[in-house]
Amino acid sequence: MTKGALYEIPVFQLGGLIYPHMIIIAHRSNFPVPLLLPATMFANLIYEIDNKAHRLNITVPDDESHIRNLTIKDDNGRLHVFCSSAE
């Protein structure tokens, strides 16, 4: 179990992707990564993790929206973040 502060980012833009009203949980930790991005943020997109250049490359297919809506669900005390829809 972990505790943290709940914040809302009005618009989180990751390259060409836009996540309006993104909810995040911030907590103090020795974990070296400031933000973990769940794979569901990239549902129906083409993504590549380039370990050599240290980049995350995302391609949005023509039939997919650039605007993605995320939802946080509580499943018996475990929080899950997933992409609930694309506009």
User: Could you write out the DSSP letters of every residue in the chain?
Assistant: ----EEEEEEEEEETTEEEEEEEEEE---S-S-S----GGGGTTSEEEEETTTTEEEEE--TTS-SBEEEEEEEETTEEEEEEEEE-
pLDDT digits (tens, 9 = 90+) for 18-74: 888 887 777 666 666 566 677 777 888 898 888 899 888 889 899 988 888 877 777
pLDDT at residue number 52: 92
**Claim: this prediction has a pTM higher than 0.85:** no
pLDDT at residue number 66: 87
pLDDT tier at 85, thresholds 50, 70, 90: low
